[in-house]
Structure 1
Amino acid sequence: MSSYNRPASSHYLEVCISSIGYHTEPHTVLTHFERFGTIDHYNFTSPDGRGFVFISYTNLEGVDRCMSSRPHRLDGQHLYVKRAIPYTDDNPREHIDTTRDLLIVVDSINVDEHFLKCLREYFSFYGTLYACKYCHEANFDYILVEFADYDQVDRVILDKPHYFNEKPLNIMKCTSTNKIIMNMKYASKNPDSVDINENFLKFQYNLKSTSFQKKDDSMSEIDLEKEVSRLETLLKKTTENFNVTRKQLEDDCCEQLRKLNADANRSHQLQQDLEQEYTKLLVEYKSLTRENEELNEQYLQAELENFEITSYYEQILADVTAETAQLEAEYTEKLEIVYANDTVTSASSRPTSASRTSTSLTPPTIPDEDNDENEE
């Protein structure tokens, strides 16, 4: 940045405020803007304070706080606040127009990447910078610098002049008016034609700025009477139309009110029916709730009895099972004793092999028939 000689801070301490609400009082406006700093003086462009308001602070910090606190709202109305820029003949609308773009005319400067980089670094001091690019118009070339806020552009304009390599930069707001002026200026190299074109533009601007001024042309009495008669006729016709329209509106309003009353009565009746139905359902619900509670108590009592019976049955079953197991053990023991006794008895009564042999060799005795008969 050694190629730049940044000027000292601006001493413009005035802000311009517009879009003030119709019902907002002047003291309300002053009270609102006194929060940002001490007000040195103020100027209302209209007696009721509903036009433009110019407020001057005692220091630059008050202006900066006021601008950084945007948006401003007062009595429900959005206020438009900007720094007050003095009027100049070179750019007659620059104190009115608002834009976020800055225009730097390239006349005798060699535009390269280094130059654009230096511009970006320099103007980034004023805030967020979106773009810095080379552009071309019909009759001249320029550098377009895009900022994030219109207040940054106003600060750059107030801090003029700006220098590059100790040469002043031709800086202005990038508006259609300034582009037209520069196109006409560079369209011809004849200085006289340039002055004529600029004077023509200034005349057009002055004509537009004074187009709303009141005319003081005098009127004759006949024309005045005709105008009064015309206005009376127009007023009468307007009054008749107003009465007819008002009657129609009153009839429409009465009809709408009747419909609304009927709807309100139906809604009230429906609400009463719903309340009665709700009361009935609430009684039934309470009755069913009591029945449910009684059934729950009966169910719990039955469950308790079932539990007691089940416990008693399980105890009996356990006792029977134990007794059965004991009887089975005794039966098994006695059965083993019986088997043991039978085994011993059969072993003692069994004959030897010699006796069996002799017995088998002895012939069987034949019974005597006589003995049998005698016995009979």
Structure 2
Amino acid sequence: MSSNDLIDRKYYSLYIGNLSADIRRKELCQYLEHYSQVDECQLFEANHRRWTCFAFVLMRTPDSINRLMSSRPHYLDNRRLYLKRALPDQCSNKIEHFLTSENVLIQFKDLKNQEIHEPNFNDENIRNYFQTYGHILNLYLLKNNRCVIEYSDYDSVDCIILDSPHYFNSHELQIDKYYSTEQLKQLDRMFTHNHELPSLGAGEDDEQVEQFLHSRRYLNMRIRLLNDSILSVKISNEIKLETIHQGFLLTINRRKELLEQIKELNKQCQILHEKNEAIKENNQNRLHLNSKLEKNYQQQITDQQNKQIEWRQKIESLQEET
């Protein structure tokens, strides 16, 4: 018994797609063993409805999965491989097995149809918890304690789903991938064209494919896809409304800040005006004082000149007498 049998195997599983139709199991294992030993490798060959091969791989250690995902892109036989963590059925629904997404929808799990009021479910607390899974590009808070987080890498979303369940203040969270309407349309096209249907096994003929198209499994897939499409449009509209609302609030706050800045500038202008008036008054007082001093000085000069003339006349008078 390997160590993988003693620990949850979901952290050791990897899905590899877009493999060459000529790929061999040994060749794929040799490439993967550059990162770690391969315990199991199940290769699904190409057929008349699938032009490429894909494989499910069980690695020896979960660190090897992390190294493989962090060192993307990978190339083999001149083809770029598509790697994603293999999500077990208990961690995800069927739709999430086919598509990756950089967006995750987070909400409280309503087990008893009771509305949960959680005031601490805010941007800061959500980021503090979920930023450990990767770089967050955007976080959209929605109504009813829901949010959509956009990551820079779809692997972050898969890691969140693998680590389920998650709890927020003892309340269990429901974690789902959030797909855009374009992604869901792509998946719908895959289901509606026989040659693009997901593989049901080896050696299937047209009759088996036709039976699958009329089976409850296919009907449930289409119903789930339709529900996801409706939810995607609804959430997309909520995100747009929330973005507009946040932009509106940002504009209002910016307007308030500008008004406060204008008020502060007006106060400073008033202070400068008062200082200017005080300086102007001071200058006028100085001019008046200078003018008065100048008049006094001119009067003193005139008096001195008159005295000099008077003394000169007296001297001349004395000289004439002698």
User: What TM-score does the superposition give when structure 2 sets the normalisation length?
Assistant: 0.49
Q: Which has the higher contact order (CA 8 A, sep 6+)?
A: 2
